[in-house]
Structure 1
Amino acid sequence: MALKSILAAYVGDAAGSGGLMLASHMARKYDAHLTGVVWHGPSPLEHRFHRYITKEVRDAISSREDEIVAGIRADFQSRISDEGLDGRTHFIDLRSDSDFSLASCARRYDITVIGHRASALGRNQFSVRPDVVALRSGKPVVVVPPAFDPAKLGTHALVAWDGKRSAARALGDALHILATKEQVTVLTIGEPPADELGDGPVDLLARHGIRAERLIRPEASGGVAATILAACAETRAGLLIMGAYEHSKFAEDLLGGVTRNILNAAELPILMSH
């Protein structure tokens, strides 16, 4: 899949976030159009006390949010100008009361880049969950750590492969990106899936002209997520590619899981698909 249309979602973090920096880097690298989007639902005050808030107070809250969005738009335009991307960008102000609206928007782009879910004080209504966007949009999402420097992306990517549906989806969604890498590692925790008696993911990549190496590791004491992140650090991978929520998202939220644990601990960008 060629990347020609990138969505960069603002999530309430500080200006100059790693998400926008990486999205700009990708737009230049792939000669793609870049769309900035800011999603925001009701403020915590409005959500909690909506029955008791007067029209004047509601108008004041709306006016303040308009000011915040205007500042975000100005920062976006300034960064776009600095990056030399004028003429192939635009900006969307997306108001809604659920993450689903951003997911619906994301379906219209090749890929969505979102900063880590860390909202500035007083801007919780701008926060979104990138894993939910990936789950509901059906499109790949890149989650970027705060203040990430695209120079650290490097030329090495690691693919977490368990042979299941979401891992296969992530691998397919990442082919165009992997084709630009000098080194690709395909990591499997434990024994390779029994159905890999024929071709495996390394063979698939080779047929796309991508040379990759297979790495098989036992599960470490910290669990699958810790094993994956340790392999990323050991191999100096600058990008992790993985499937999200192979098990129930409800169970992940309730009990924790690989997706949630990696999102909470990763210090490198993660491309995830579901």
Structure 2
Amino acid sequence: MAFKTVLTVTGLDDGDSDLKVAAGLCAEIEAHLSVLVLALAAPPPIGEYAAMVSDGWLEERQTDLDRSKERVAAVSAFLARSDVSSDVTSEYPEIAWADETVGRRARYADLTVVGPRLLAGETLKDKVVEGVLFSSGKPLLLVPEGGSQPTLKPKRVLVAWDSRIEASRALRESLEILDAAEDVRLVLVDPMEGEDKHGAEPGADAAAYLARHGVKVAVDRLPSAGHAVAEVLRRHAVDISAELLVMGAYGHSRLRERIFGGVTKSMLENQSLPILMAR
């Protein structure tokens, strides 16, 4: 899929670092950059003490709205200095509904980019990631701090394959990237044979699908050897000098991943290279 519109989200206290990352990616693929300035509002006071705290709550809201206008102006000034086509909007939802707000905005983009500054946070990062993955139907690109310059034209790509719907969606969303790459590794960790698992020859069907699209793909079947799947993927990405990891996200429910952990949760907590996720 061609990425013609790229969305990135920035908070009130963020600088230009994430904007530079997103603008650089847009310049690389000649895409439009859409920036969402997002501030999270505290819920209105309720109960018997509401009258006592309402003035403070209103003052806090007005301060946030004023800061949001300032942030929009700063982002607009940055974009005016950039060569990419762009627009900027702002939203001020309550914290509980922020993911839905992000998801609705992300539906009008082909890809949402989360840069290092936003990834370093907690609440805002969680709302953006979950909003895109669960409420937009569009892919998400996580760009961690450090490492090489992020690119949407990588030469070497690692694709994490587990035969789930989410992984299939990630393949489809990244086809244009994979087709242009020189080396694509379809990686299976502890694959199981069987019709309801990975098939008679694990990875063969997915590799054939990619090959029909012109992708230069090889299948790597790896044992976990007692290590977590996420750790095996990260190590293999280093071994093959991958510039991008493509994977499906949240094969299990969000609640289960939060309580028991999972590959998605581990990858979100410890990124070693850019990751394109889809669900």
Report the TM-score when normalising by structure 2. Answer: 0.83
Moved more, 27-36 or 94-103: 27-36
The 1-side partners of 2:257 and 2:219 are apart by 28
Q: Kindly state the Cα deviation for residue 235 of structure 1 after the two structures are TM-superposed.
A: 1.0
Q: Which amino acid letter does the alignment assign opposite residue 216 of structure 1?
A: R
- Indicate if the aligned counterparts of 1:38 and 1:126 stay in contact, CA closer than 8 A: no
Superimposed CA distance per residue, residues 48-71 of structure 1 (whole angstroms, 9 cap, x where no aligned partner) = 868414144542343233323433
User: Distance in 1 between the 2:223 and 2:277 partners?
Assistant: 22
1:261 aligned partner: 266
Cα deviation digits, residues 19-45 of structure 1 (max 9, x gap): 434432332232222211122221xxx
Structure 1 stretch displaced more, 233-242 or 52-61: 52-61
Residue in 1 that maps onto 2:176:
176
Q: CA deviation at 1:186?
A: 0.5
Aligned-residue offset at 1:214 = 0.7
Out of 95, 117, 120, the position equivalent to 1:118 is 120
Aligned to 1:91: 88
What's the counterpart of residue 108 of structure 1?
Answer: 108
Q: CA RMSD in A?
A: 2.6
- Is 1:250 paired with 2:255? yes
Q: Is residue 201 of structure 1 aligned with residue 206 of structure 2?
A: yes
CA contact (8 A) 1:131 1:244 kept: no
Alpha-carbon contact 2:140-2:276 (below 8 Å) kept: yes
Cα distance in 2 for residues equivalent to 1:221 and 1:202: 26
Partner letter of residue 257 of structure 2?
Answer: E
Match of residue 221 from structure 2: 216
Residues 120-139 of structure 1 mapped to structure 2, 5 A cutoff: 128-139=127-138
Alpha-carbon distance in structure 1 between the residues aligned to 2:194 and 2:244: 27
User: How far 1:258 moved relative to its partner?
Assistant: 0.8
Q: Are residues 1:6 and 2:9 paired?
A: no
Q: 1:61 to 1:208 in 2, by over 3 A?
A: closer
The answer for unaligned runs of 5 or more in structure 2 is: none
Give the drift of 1:262: 1.0
For residues 126 and 63 of structure 1, the distance between their equivalents in structure 2, rounded to whole angstroms, comes to 22
Does the residue aligned with 2:8 lie in a helix, a strand or coil? strand
Q: Residue in 1 aligned with 2:145? A: 146
- After superposition, the Cα gap between the structure-2 partners of 1:119 and 1:65, relative to the gap in structure 1 and judged at 3 Å, is farther
Q: How far does the alpha carbon of each residue in 1:141-163 deviate from its partner, in whole angstroms, 9 at most, with x for none?
A: 11111356526774111000011
Tell me the residue number matched to 1:227. 232
- Which region of structure 1 is more displaced relative to structure 2, 7-16 or 187-196? 7-16
The amino acid across from 1:62 in the alignment is: L
CA deviations over 1:149-190 (Å, ceiling 9, x no partner): 526774111000011110001011100111221111110001
Equivalents in 1 of 2:66, 2:210: separation in Å? Answer: 51
CA distance in 1, matches of 2:150, 2:36: 24
Aligned-residue offset at 1:240: 0.5
Larger RCO (CA under 8 A, 6+ residues apart): 1
Distance 2:269 2:223 in 1: 22
Q: How many residues align?
A: 261
Residues 146, 53 of structure 1: alpha-carbon distance in 2 compared, 3 angstrom cutoff: farther
Higher mean displacement: 31-40 or 127-136: 127-136
Contact (CA 8 Å) 1:7, 1:113: kept in 2 or not? yes
What SS does the aligned partner of 2:127 have? coil
Q: Write the distance in 2 (CA, Å) between the matches of 1:207 and 1:273.
A: 21
- Residues 58 and 272 of structure 1, relative CA distance in 2, 3 Å threshold: closer
Judged with a 3 Å threshold, the aligned counterparts in structure 2 of structure 1 residues 21 and 269 are, in CA distance, closer, same or farther, namely farther
**Contact 2:25/2:151, CA 8 A, preserved across alignment:** no
Tell me which amino acid in the other structure corresponds to 1:168: S
TM-score (structure 1 length as normaliser): 0.84
